Homo-oligomer: A and B are copies of this chain.
Amino acid sequence: MPKLCKQSALDPHGRFVSALRTWGDVSALDEALVHELPMRLQLVPAQEEVSREGERASECSFVLEGFFFRHKMVAGGGRQILTFDLPDALPDVRCLHLAVNDYSLTALSAGTVARIPHAALRDAIAQAPGLADIFWCASMREAAILRERLASVGRRTAYQRVAHFFCEMYVRMKERGMASEDHFALPITQNDLGDTLGLSTVHINRTLQQLREDGIIVSHGKSHRFTDWERLRQAGDFDPAYLSLTAR
């Protein structure tokens, strides 16, 4: 038995196909080509980088298990976390088109990724345009998430940002079966949260206390519960529309 986790026993190609299905229709050809893709499994310890900002990448990653995040560094050591990636994510298909990684990909908790050479992916896409369509679709939603985050960081208060972030992660985890009705567990420190929302750790801490006082969330460690979705939603000025893709 592999040591890490039951899921790593699952064949990555199968997982890949089922991930693609959540984004669009996968034809028999698409599926056959995916099964031909070379995939190199990589166990990533918590906090270890999978790829680094500034490097030229030759492989894409597919998240099999664990939480990952992407970030950029700015002058003076500041860190901006761009987004968190859940299992089934393709954190860097985009790198097929950019010269150099413009962000780093790091494991938040220990996890597994499958690495796929660019060349192989490009070949597959060339043969099955439907695949490109699905990738595009996935990256479009990712961009929508990014736009919403920009609006948060640029124009929302700390209180709203935190509530909004919880709403978003809840919805995203729910759709992957990683959350129950009113509860989800995010292995993220207050420091990470700050670097995600453009706030200091201390201020995140105080904002969380405020949210708890107001009875909007209840947290025990990494585990978060809310009693009233509607109140959380309003507190965060959250409208899930940006997360929906076209039903074609």
Contacts and interface: CB of A to CB of B under 8 A. Distances in A.
Interface of A: 54, 72, 74-75, 78-80, 82, 94, 96-100, 102-103, 125-126, 129, 132-133, 135-137, 139-144, 146-156, 160, 195, 197-198, 237, 241-242, 244-247
Contacts of A125: 129, 133
Given A99-B246, A197-B154, A241-B100, A140 B140 contact: no
Contacts of A100: 241-242, 244
Contacts of A80: 150-151, 154-155
13 contacts: A74-B155, A78-B156, A80-B150, A80-B151, A82-B150, A102-B242, A136-B136, A136-B139, A143-B146, A146-B146, A146-B150, A150-B153, A153-B154
B102 A154 contact: no
Contacts of A154: 80, 153, 195, 197-198
B102 A148 contact: yes
Contacts of A79: 155
Contacts of A140: 94, 96-98, 139
B146 A97 contact: no
A33 to B, nearest CB: 13
B98 A147 contact: no
A153 B198 contact: yes
A241 B147 contact: no
A141 B244 contact: no
Contacts of A54: 241
A97 B147 contact: no
